[in-house]
Structure formats: structure tokens, C-alpha cells
Amino acid sequence: MGTQVRAVPWVRQLVIDTGRAARRRHAIHGLFEADVTSARSALRRDDATRLFTAFVIHCVAAAVAAEPGVQAYRDLHGREIVFDQVDIGVPIEVDVDGKPFAFTHVLRDASRRTVRELNDEIHAVKSDPHLSPSVRKEPWVHAYLLLPGFARVALLGALHRLPRRQQSLAGTVGVTAVGMFGAGAGWGIGFQLHTLSVVVGGIARRPIFFQGVLVEREFLQLTVSVDHDIVDGAPAARFVRRLRELLLAGDGLHESSTAKEQV
């Protein structure tokens, strides 16, 4: 096959604009691992490994609910708005003009929902993207793309200073599963679109001493990014500590198993 000349899909411009706007954030990134051996084992017993992404989202939401300051936003008057509801923005891949594209769907009030409820919504939107309000805003996206580049980037850059609009369009927290590592290990760092963003990387298997015995355990590799203009190290560390605890404990999986037995 020779050299090809192709038109750039219109949705790609959204990615370019987002990257430019994200450069204005003063982000700090932390790369860490969490033991998910027990959680993965429980999911295999339930024959529902596809629940894993929803399980991680559930744990992120619960950890944010315990430390809500990590999803604060500063408005145009310089006031900090701390939401009491955790709305998780997740990328869901759809077909746009014959090509795959990941748009942001918002899982509302995620900390008060079960793993299975989150999973069911994700898969429902994958099956029918028009169930998501984000997809139904496509005409507005086309109108937005008619603006000059500097105006588009300025609007995206100002979104986090409009907390209610941020919550409506993109959620209060971002969670991305990069999926580029296949079955291997690895971390990823994404655009900083939210005060708190979590990138779910690969899973590493390694031998460790666990309860006095040398065993092989599975570790999920995560990148936590925070806007340092709003979040200091102490609350970020408390969030990470709580997230680790929830992932290790398999938080929310018991409820999912109970719901499955009742169906």
C-alpha cells in the first residue's frame, strides 16, 4: 500500500483542542500500584471479569466521596466549589463516520451506585451511544468547530472555572482506561481535564511476601493527576490511600454478587 492522503476526522479536532487547553493546568502526577488480587479472584468466580472497569470506577468514586476536596473547582469569582455528588466522566468508544472515537459519558452520582449498575450503564451506552446526553449534543459540537481555533481553546480552558458547566458536560472527576498495554503492565498520563483525573493502566504480576508467605499477586497500575492550584499533597495522599484500601478490599463486589444471585 502506498502513501495515503486522508481527511482528518472532525472529531480529531476536539482532541487537539483539548490537549492545547490542558496545557494551562498546573498538574502534578503520581504513579502508584494497588493490589487487586482478591478483587480479580472474586470477579473470576462470578464469571464477570468485564465488571473490572466498573469496579475501579466505583472505588474511585467512593474514595472521592471520602475526600471531596479533590474534586473542587474554582469559579470566576475565586471561590472554591466542592461538589457533594461524584460524577465520573469516562471515555466510551463509538463509531463516528466509520471510524472509532472515544467521547466522554458522565456516570452520575457514582459513589452511591453499585458496581453492576455502573457496568450496566457503560455497556448500555456502548450498545446505543444515543442513550448518552453527550452524543445528543453533536449538533452543538459542529457549531463549536466553526469557531476559530483560539476561541475554541479559550472556551475549553475556561470550562473548569465554570464548575456547574464542567459538572454538566464532563463530570467532576475523570477516569480513563488506556488499554494500550494489553495483558502487560504500564502507566499512562492523560490530558488534565478535571481537578482529579485517574488513568487506569496495566496489571503486573509479581511475587511478594503476603501474610508471611511468598505468593504471586496482581497489581493494578494507576496514575493520579491533580490540579495543584486547587489540591494540595495531603488531601491527594489521603485520596490515594483510601483508593488503595478499597481496591484491595474488593469494595462493592459483594453487592454485585448478591444482585446477580437475586436476578
Name the residue range of residue 55's domain. Answer: 10-249
Does 2 fall in a domain? no
What are the tens digits of pLDDT across the range 69-104? 999 999 999 899 999 999 999 988 777 666 677 788
Element (H or E) spanning 175, and its range?
Answer: strand 173-177
Residue in the block written with cell 466510551: 92
Look at the chain and report how many structural domains it folds into.
1
**pLDDT tens track for 221-260:** 999 999 999 999 899 999 999 999 999 999 888 765 444 4
Q: Domain for residue 261, yes or no?
A: no
CATH number for 241:
3.30.559.10
Q: Is residue 254 in a domain?
A: no
- Classify residue 259: in a domain, yes or no: no
**What pLDDT does 234 receive?**
93
Q: Is 156 inside any structural domain?
A: yes
Domain assignment present for 260: no
pTM of the model: 0.87
Q: Exposed e or buried b for every residue in 131-156, given b needs 16+ CB within 10 A? A: ebebbeeeeeeeebeeeeeeebbeeb
